[in-house]
């Protein structure tokens, strides 16, 4: 079985096999006969608005939904339809799934049930914030991950220690891209009315064109709504470009709330990991730069895949399928430990015998037969290797090379040696 990674974000569900992006599509459905999902549904969403549904990943449940059909009785059915469509794109694969921040345990159980019904074997469920934190190598005590979907903004708090542990997740519902897009569509329509006396919202075809041009998640570093918008109606082209003031006005209610949530969650020096989607919120990065003690790390659209690729063996090491991973070993902690060990290794300068200190480099040349003192040229650490004499390091017998640090004592035969640092 090959390994596939699926990120469940309703703005762009992304599926990878190896380093290949198989598909990136929105969480959208159209209740036609038969139903359409993903990009096909989005392409007709404003042409048939009464049949369109983009709530099924946000309101993920088996509760009856408005507009239900025999094929799609509830939102879970629509999610199932999108998952089965993905199955044909990644056949014979085990799946690791990056789950949305707002999913509770009931949602995760339902998701696993749908994956099983679709014959999509799940190896693990993992929190994307924890996965990305493992790659960030942050030294700040407070680490946050900010992401945006169609309907919500999520702020995941991650505790730093020997483990990177998701502690909580704040959800701002009805504050995602869709809310901004509707506002920007109204700004664009007003501008075209003033300029050309043409209202694109009065025609389904031009409303669809406007909607799709505003919703462009595959432009990670661009601000939402930037660029020239070109609409075509009855042989006429209508162009409009939204000014920066409109972009910021559209986000004026959202960005301050996000900033306040980050301030409350950080409670001191902190680092925020910004998804490529979050970076497109107009004015957000400028606002975050004003928070004292806050460091921002801008992730790319490839960051999640890179983190997954690096940790795939660890994520799939368990023989148990369906494992839920909200905690991972902290590479930053391991790096700090390694650095400390390196420093300690360098700190040994002398060895003391019968009250007399001798430079360790000179001493090592005279004891090679009795026991070996070996300097690693790369790390600068001294190692102790067994020789002709029976050796004990800090009271423990030595049978193979081991690392030394200042303060260690060895007993070789009937002689005692102490390793020290002379400053």
List, for residues 55-97, the tens digit of each pLDDT value. Answer: 999 999 999 998 888 889 999 999 999 999 988 898 888 999 9
Tell me what pLDDT residue 124 has: 93
Domain region containing 79: 1-126
At 282, list the tokens. Answer: 């107009």
41 and 105 assigned to the same domain: yes
**Which whole number is the average pLDDT over 24-33?**
94
103 and 193 assigned to the same domain: no
DSSP state of 279: G
**Helix/strand number for the chain, H first, E second:** 12, 26
CATH number of domain containing 229: 3.90.640
Region of residue 184 (left: phi > 0; alpha: psi -120 to 50; beta: else): alpha
Q: How confident is the model at residue 224 (pLDDT cuts 50, 70, 90)?
A: low
User: Dihedral, CA atoms, 94, 99, 103, 105, nearest 10 degrees?
Assistant: 40
User: Dihedral, CA atoms, 206, 207, 208, 209, nearest 10 degrees?
Assistant: 50
Tell me what pLDDT residue 376 has: 61
Q: What is the rounded distance in angstroms from the CA atom of residue 156 to the CA atom of residue 262?
A: 10
Cβ-contact 394, 408 below 8 angstroms: yes
Residue 329: φ, ψ to 5°: -60, 145
363 and 243 assigned to the same domain: no
pLDDT in tens, 172-182: 887 889 999 99
CATH number of domain containing 115: 3.30.420.40
Last residue of a domain, one of 126, 155, 190: 126
Q: How confident is the model at residue 340 (pLDDT cuts 50, 70, 90)?
A: very low
84 and 21 assigned to the same domain: yes
Residue 324: φ, ψ to 5°: -100, 120
99 and 30 assigned to the same domain: yes
Tell me what pLDDT residue 379 has: 56
At 120, list the tokens. Answer: 């999509």
10 and 115 assigned to the same domain: yes
196 and 120 assigned to the same domain: no
Q: What is the rounded distance in angstroms from the CA atom of residue 93 to the CA atom of residue 111?
A: 17
- In Å, the largest CA–CA distance within the chain is 101
- On whether residue 67 sits in a domain, the answer given is yes
Q: State the total domains in the chain.
A: 3
2 and 81 assigned to the same domain: yes
Tell me what pLDDT residue 393 has: 84
- On whether residue 387 sits in a domain, the answer given is yes
86 and 192 assigned to the same domain: no
Q: What is the rounded distance in angstroms from the CA atom of residue 164 to the CA atom of residue 138?
A: 11
Q: What is the rounded distance in angstroms from the CA atom of residue 150 to the CA atom of residue 56?
A: 11
- On whether residue 276 sits in a domain, the answer given is no
203 and 113 assigned to the same domain: no
Region of residue 351 (left: phi > 0; alpha: psi -120 to 50; beta: else): beta
- On whether residue 171 sits in a domain, the answer given is no
Q: Residue 271's closest CA among 239, 293, 242, 250?
A: 293
At 158, list the tokens. Answer: 């991650």
106 and 43 assigned to the same domain: yes
Tell me what pLDDT residue 369 has: 65
pLDDT in tens, 245-298: 888 898 888 888 888 888 888 877 889 999 999 998 888 999 999 988 899 999
Cβ-contact 10, 27 below 8 angstroms: yes
Last residue of a domain, one of 250, 274, 307: 250
At 135, list the tokens. Answer: 């790659």
At 188, list the tokens. Answer: 């664009």
Last residue of a domain, one of 250, 277, 302: 250
- On whether residue 69 sits in a domain, the answer given is yes
Q: What is the rounded distance in angstroms from the CA atom of residue 75 to the CA atom of residue 44?
A: 19
- On whether residue 142 sits in a domain, the answer given is no
List the 371-375 sheet strands across, edge first: 371-375, 382-386, 402-403
- On whether residue 36 sits in a domain, the answer given is yes
- On whether residue 306 sits in a domain, the answer given is no
What residues does 240 pair with on adjacent strands? 229
12 and 121 assigned to the same domain: yes
Tell me what pLDDT residue 368 has: 63
């Amino acid at each position: 079985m090959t390994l596939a990674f699926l990120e469940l974000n309703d703005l762009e569900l992304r599926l990878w096999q190896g380093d290949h992006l198989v598909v990136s599509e929105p969480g959208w459905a159209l209740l036609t006969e038969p139903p359409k999902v993903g990009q096909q549904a989005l392409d007709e969403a404003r042409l048939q608005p009464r049949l369109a549904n983009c709530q099924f990943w946000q309101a993920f449940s088996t509760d009856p939904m408005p507009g239900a059909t025999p094929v799609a009785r509830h939102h879970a059915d629509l999610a199932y339809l999108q998952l089965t469509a993905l199955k044909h794109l990644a056949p014979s694969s085990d799946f690791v799934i990056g789950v949305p921040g707002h999913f509770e345990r009931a949602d995760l159980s339902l998701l696993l049930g749908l994956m099983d019904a679709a014959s999509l074997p799940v190896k693990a469920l993992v929190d994307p914030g924890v996965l990305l934190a493992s790659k960030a190598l942050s030294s700040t005590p407070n680490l946050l991950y900010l992401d945006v979907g169609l309907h919500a903004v999520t702020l995941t708090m991650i505790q730093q220690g020997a483990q990177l542990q998701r502690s909580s997740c704040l959800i701002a519902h009805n504050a995602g891209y869709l809310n901004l897009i509707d506002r920007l569509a109204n700004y664009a329509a007003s501008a075209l009315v003033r300029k050309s006396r043409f209202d694109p919202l009065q025609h389904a075809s031009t409303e669809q064109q406007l909607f799709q041009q505003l919703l462009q998640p595959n432009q990670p570093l661009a601000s939402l709504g930037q660029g020239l918008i070109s609409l075509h109606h009855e042989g006429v082209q209508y162009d409009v470009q939204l000014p920066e003031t409109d972009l910021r006005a559209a986000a004026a209610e959202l960005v301050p709330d996000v900033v306040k949530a980050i301030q409350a969650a950080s409670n001191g020096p902190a680092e925020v990991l910004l998804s490529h989607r979050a970076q497109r919120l107009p004015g957000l990065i400028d606002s975050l730069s004003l928070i004292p003690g806050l460091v921002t790390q801008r992730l790319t659209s490839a960051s999640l895949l890179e983190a997954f690729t690096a940790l795939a063996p660890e994520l799939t090491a368990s023989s148990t399928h369906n494992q839920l991973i909200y905690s991972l070993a902290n590479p930053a902690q391991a790096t700090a430990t390694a650095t400390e060990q390196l420093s300690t290794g360098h700190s040994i300068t002398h060895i003391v015998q019968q009250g007399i200190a001798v430079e360790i480099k000179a001493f090592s040349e005279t004891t090679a037969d009795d026991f070996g003192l070996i300097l690693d040229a790369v790390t600068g650490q001294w190692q102790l290797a067994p020789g002709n004499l029976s050796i004990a390091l800090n009271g423990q017998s030595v049978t193979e090379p081991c690392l030394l640090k200042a303060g260690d004592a060895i007993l070789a035969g009937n002689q005692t040696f102490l390793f020290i640092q002379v400053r």
